[in-house]
Amino acid sequence: MMPAEFDVTGKVVLITGAARGIGKGIAQVLAEAGADIALNALTNKYVNDTAADIAKASGRKVVPVIADVTKPDDVRRAVDSVLNTFGRIDVLVNALGDSIRKPLAVLPGKEDVAAVTDDELRFIMDINLTEALLCTRAVGPHMLARQSGKIINIAAWTAHQGGRDMVLYTTAKTALAGFTRAQALEWAPYNIHVNAIAPGMFPDVVTSGEERMKQSAHRALQTVPLRRPGRLREVGLLALYLASGASDYMTGQTILLDGGLGL
């Protein structure tokens, strides 16, 4: 029998960037553990099918929430929609993110590799950092009024060890880890826990395709001490711990889940 502290039955979880990848993996595990889920995505392309599949497999209520969570007005509408549908938000998972492999400026001897553009700079910072700030701010009044809540930010192993050609992504995720610490301290008196997961290599066959999944497995064999990429479900299992009462004495932490990649 599962320890009672891990029970999330009936809790309402809002997950951003949840149509695919890590967000989807977290949604699957939390729904399986008894939570009702609001799945955020920018478009309907994947999220409707994802929501239907998770609802069917878990028997829980799973609803799609279409919004651009890098935009303040969209975020407010999304949070209001979830509150109107479920009546509360117990857990917020800021899982939206993306990376780009480009140097900050053109490097000598590598003039054929373009540097990041202004639009790319704003995009990477917004999708990895701004969305978490906006969504946390939007759910804040609700959680503060109830004096209860769990916030889980999805950082990255590069927040602990820089990645080549990933200056913007590393900067945004490092800032996200700092935000996690600061917000945890600010809201600790109100029984709101803020933690982060820093995943390593977690490819998704839906976005990567079979061939790139094979390439990721080969690369992990060469670079990851545990000699394999991560499985999306494994992030979900750690998120379950952070979303549940089992983690009630933890806040402000960024937990590496990377197979030893950052060692």
Pairing of strands 62-66, 91-94: unpaired
Per-residue model confidence as pLDDT tens digits over 17-47: 999 999 999 999 999 999 999 999 999 999 9
* CATH number of the 4-205+231-257 domain: 3.40.50.720
Structure tokens at 178: 């700092």
Catalytic-role residue among 169, 190, 241, 249: 169
Element (H, E) at 233: helix 232-243
Residue 94 has pLDDT above 80, yes or no: yes
The reported pLDDT for the residue numbered 208 is 61
Domain boundaries, the chain: 4-205+231-257
Confidence of residue 207 (pLDDT cuts 50, 70, 90): low
Q: Longest C-alpha distance within the chain, in Å? A: 60
Nearest CA among 110, 129, 219 for reference residue 183:
129
**190 annotated active-site:** no
> Could you tell me which residues are beta bridge partners of residue 136?
none
